[in-house]
Amino acid sequence: MSTGPTDPMAGFDHLIHAPNRLRVCALLDTTGEAEFAVLQKQLGLSPSALSKHAGALIEAGYVEQRKAVRDTRQRVWLRLTPQGNKAYHGHLAALRAIVGQ
């Protein structure tokens, strides 16, 4: 199988492909930005599991976080970066190519 620059499989991203990271990217793609606690609730993940997956996406430059104090507590919001958005949509295109759609 070819993985040249015009091959849609070139967009397959092993980092995003992990199920929980894929779900994080999908949710952030539809919402634009989401508070950590909301992501946690929507995805049914523990704080430590979400933190681990978000940390991997942040380290890759796919997700950025914004911290602010709200209701006297520090809150964290996450959103896809332009690089993350491109990687996520490239990965979706690769998955569609795999299933022949």
- Tens digits of residue pLDDT in 22-34: 999 999 999 999 9
Does residue 22 sit within a domain?
yes
Q: Is residue 13 part of a domain?
A: yes
- What pLDDT band is residue 6 in, cutting at 50, 70 and 90? low
What are the DSSP calls for 28-40, one per residue? HHHHSSEEHHHHH
Average pLDDT over residues 35-47: 96
Residue 74 lies in a domain: yes
Q: Is residue 1 a part of any domain in this protein?
A: no
Residue 4 falls inside a structural domain: no
| 86: CATH | 1.10.10.10
State the total domains in the chain.
1
**CA–CA dist 100, 12 (Å, integer):** 14
- Containing domain of residue 52, as a range? 9-99
Is 60 contained in some domain? yes
Computed over its alpha carbons, how large is the radius of gyration of the chain? 15
Asked whether residue 46 is domain-assigned, the answer is: yes
Answer whether residue 100 shows pLDDT above 90.
Answer: no
**Inside any domain, residue 3:** no
* pTM score, whole prediction: 0.87
Render pLDDT for 47-90 as a digit per residue (tens, 0 to 9).
999 999 999 999 999 999 999 987 788 899 999 999 999 999 99
